[in-house]
Each structure stands twice: as structure tokens, then as C-alpha cells.
A and B are shown apart, each in its own frame.
Chain A
Amino acid sequence: MVSGVPPFERFYESHKAEVLAFLRGRAGRDRADDLFQETFLRALRAYGRLEHGEHLRAWVLTIATNAVVDAARRERPTAELSVEPAGEDERPALEELAPLTDDLPPKERAAVVLRYGYDLDYDTIGAALGSNEQAARQAASAGVRRLRKEKEQR
């Protein structure tokens, strides 16, 4: 066994439907198609460096989240952002949040971004991370504490 990391085919088959549903919910049906490919290509690039096969669900949903964030950034340079009204789909909070969370551990980053960027409840985040509500709450608050500490140190 390669330290419990399943063949990529298994990983892809297990998670592709959920990732597509997740992306459609976050980015809309049209953009979700491109982001689907982007997400799994990113996962593939990193897959050879995985050391174990745990939390693959949280891992791939984090990659999907990052792909959405990066696409939003590409499409909306910050200069334009300030003059656009913040409509329901604009998610400025997310775009401000994303760069700040770059250095967080993946699970905390995912929890923070999903909670404060996407306004998901902890139940949903727990499910996305393959754990539970309480663990999601803890990860998010650990992430926020870490961000505060980093801010104070600056």
C-alpha cells in the first residue's frame, strides 16, 4: 500500500459528484464545469505528495473552494470590486478573506472560508470536512484565533 492513499481513480469516483454539486452551488452551473476540471487537475498535481488517505473529502472540497476563490479573483480585479454594488452573488467578504487565510492549515482554512466566506452553517461545514458540527466550529475558531495572532504580530 502507498501509505493508504487510494488510487486516484477511486478518489475521483468517490468525490466527483459531490464536488460538482458543491461547485454548482458556489459558482453557478456554467462556471462549475470549468472549475470541476480545475479542481481535479489541482488535486492530481498534489496527489503524489499526499502522505495518507485521510480527510480526502475535506481536502478536495478545500481545493474546490480555492478554485472558486481564484476564479472570482481573476474575474474581478480589486480595482473594480470597490465600485461594484455588492449583490447577492458578489461575495466581497470571501475575496477579502481568501488571501488572509492562505497560511492557515488546510482544515482551518476550509472551515474559516466556508463559514465566513460562504456563510455555511457548522453542520454543513462539518459534513464537508468529513467530521461534525463541533469539529467544524473548533476548526473555524482555531483559524480565526490564528488569524488574530498573525494580525497582532504584523
Chain B
Amino acid sequence: MTAVPTVLDERFRAAAAASGELDVAYDVLDDTPVGRLLVGVSERGLCRVGFDPEPEAELERLARHFGPRVLRSPNALDRVRRELDEYFAGGRHAFDLELDLRATPEFHRRVLAELNRVEYGHTTTYGALAAQVGAPRAARAVGTVMNRNPLPIVLPCHRVVGANGSLTGYGGGLDRKEWLLRLEGALL
């Protein structure tokens, strides 16, 4: 079978993103300090940050939520990659990216909007977030929202801890949560 030359393959992927016809352009960042990350953007903004990406499942999920025209196109992720690099190097404390949360249910969006106000290096609790969205008894539901956060790191669910200060849980695993909190100086 004819192998498609890399230059031809990359040229098509870039042209596809530039054509504006993609529902989602994604890339897999192989060597971040927290391991492999899948990142995806739609024409509206960042729509996915995934840990331990199993590409098959992730692509199906993106296609289901945003449309089937999902293609790996590294060029389209340049800005996201740069901001993440800066964040991991300790030089960036807030992301300056448009976010596409249209596939996220309304209650989740409200909680994530509150979460987005928790600043770099600070932490909050599930209960406090619940109270801020007017559902003080919904700490457990807030836990679920964190667990299903489509944009971890950028929407900083790692900054949410248990009422007693324990790390509790993290969709990407507690090691990563600990690493992120240490990076931000919230854990010593």
C-alpha cells in the first residue's frame, strides 16, 4: 500500500483546519508534565482537554457532541499548546482562551463558571462551590460536575478539595491533582 508522505498528510490537515469545515480540530500532546493530553478546538473555542486519551473513545465522543468532522490538525492547536506550555512552566496563571461548553448541561456550566473564578494558587471546597451556585446541599453533585469537567486544567477542578482539606478525587488521578496544586504553590 502506498504510504502517504508526511508532508502531504500535514498539508491536508492544515488545509482542512484553515477551510473552516472542521467540527473539531484536535491534537495529542505527548510530553506534558502531566502526561499525554488530548486537546480539541471547535470554531467557538476550546472544547476538550482529556487525560490518558484513548483516541478511539475520545473521537467518538467529540463526534457525538460536536459533529463528525473531527480531525487531528496540530496547527489549529498552536495557541492552546502555547498557553499550556506557559502554564506548566509556571509563567501563566490564567488562560486566555475562548471556551466551547455547548455540549455541557446547564447546571454543569453554572458550576464550571463559578469554578473558573477560583484563582491560581487558591483552593475551594465542593460545598463552597455548591453554595455559590445556590445549591448548598449539592456538594456531591458538584463533585460529579468536577469529575465530568470537559476542560480540566483550564477550568481548574484541581483547585477543589474536600472540606477537611483532603484532595478527595480527580478525574485525571490524584497524582496529577497533587502535581498541579504544587505547581501553583497551593500545596507545599
Contacts and interface: CB of A to CB of B under 8 A. Distances in A.
Given A1-B64, A7-B62, A10-B59, A44 B2 contact: no
B2 A9 contact: no
Interface residues of A, number: 25
Contacts of B23: 48
B1 A21 contact: yes
A52 to B, nearest CB: 11
Interface in B60-84: 60, 62-64, 67-72
Indicate the size class of the contact surface on chain B: 20 to 34
B16 A20 contact: no
B54 interface: no
Contacts of A20: 2, 4, 8
Contacts of A41: 12, 15-16, 19, 21
A17 interface: yes
17 contacts: A1-B60, A1-B64, A5-B68, A6-B63, A7-B59, A8-B68, A8-B71, A9-B59, A9-B70, A18-B1, A36-B4, A40-B12, A41-B16, A44-B69, A44-B71, A47-B68, A48-B69
A50 interface: yes
Given A6-B68, A7-B60, A7-B62, A36 B8 contact: yes
Interface of A: 1-2, 5-10, 12, 16-18, 20-21, 24, 33, 36-37, 40-41, 44-45, 47-48, 50
Contacts of B67: 2, 48
Contacts of B60: 1, 7
A17 B15 contact: no
Contacts of B59: 7, 9-10
Interface of B: 1-4, 8-9, 11-12, 15-16, 19, 21-23, 59-60, 62-64, 67-72
Contacts of A50: 68
A8 B4 contact: no
B3 A17 contact: yes
A138 B60 CA distance: 35
A9 to B, nearest CB: 5
Contacts of B62: 7
